[in-house]
A and B are shown apart, each in its own frame.
Chain A
Amino acid sequence: SQKIEQNSEALNIQEGKTATLTCNYTNYSPAYLQWYRQDPGRGPVFLLLIRENEKEKRKERLKVTFDTTLKQSLFHITASQPADSATYLCALGSGNTGKLIFGQGTTLQVKP
């Protein structure tokens, strides 16, 4: 069955450092992959999308890579700030149905 794995342990880093979150998947061939941010008590918010034929995408301090051979996406936040502390979810999609399958999320804590 389709499986998406994100590091279940919280990631604690120091302000100013680069945070790297991992999303691995099996038994799936997604056409695209999305990353969402979720703050406590709120719904997820879309951050970035990367398609299967794209290796890397950037948006301000965010960078996403997508390796369909390794079946892995890496999500980087450079120059991290305490305000970046949240749970980050990866989601896989295919076709034009809009249906997404979400990972469990990784909680990031940036300490000042």
Chain B
Amino acid sequence: DAGVIQSPRHEVTEMGQEVTLRCKPISGHNSLFWYRQTMMRGLELLIYFNNNVPIDDSGMPEDRFSAKMPNASFSTLKIQPSEPRDSAVYFCASSLTGEIYNEQFFGPGTRLTVL
């Protein structure tokens, strides 16, 4: 398996623009997580899905952020409008929840810079 795939790897945009981050989880995994990582706040959980259904979005900073998972093999995280404080590395992770280990497999991340 190719692992968790994220695109783009790098995104530079201007304040006010819409940004869409994409994730393809590992085939067969039933949980998907979106995280944001910054030096100041570390790795923060934004939202997670079980079987394509959003379970907990309490980490989503504000209404400018939205996430969807239309099917088991694809998810998007959208920021509209983007702001400089959204600059961070965004990770997607997937896992097979319910199994003993529940380890999460992370993608390579998308480094977002909002100017």
Contacts and interface: CB of A to CB of B under 8 A. Distances in A.
B109 A42 contact: yes
Contacts, number: 66
B112 to A, nearest CB: 14
B42 A49 contact: no
B101 A97 contact: no
Contacts of B44: 102
B34 interface: no
A34 B33 CA distance: 16
Instruction: Bin the interface of chain B by size.
Output: 20 to 34
A105 B43 CA distance: 9
Given A44-B43, A105-B42, A99 B48 contact: yes
Q: Of A96, A98, A101, which is in contact with the most chain B CB atoms at under 10 Å from its CB?
A: A98
Contacts of B43: 44, 89, 102, 104-105
Interface residues of A, number: 21
Contacts of B103: 34, 46, 49
A96 B99 CA distance: 8
B55 interface: yes
Contacts of A89: 43
A43 B91 contact: yes
Given A42-B109, A43-B91, A43-B93, A98 B45 contact: no
B18 interface: no
Interface in B80-115: 91, 93, 95, 97-98, 101-109
B45 A99 contact: yes
A97 B93 contact: no
10 contacts: A41-B108, A43-B4, A44-B91, A46-B101, A89-B43, A99-B45, A100-B104, A103-B42, A104-B43, A105-B43
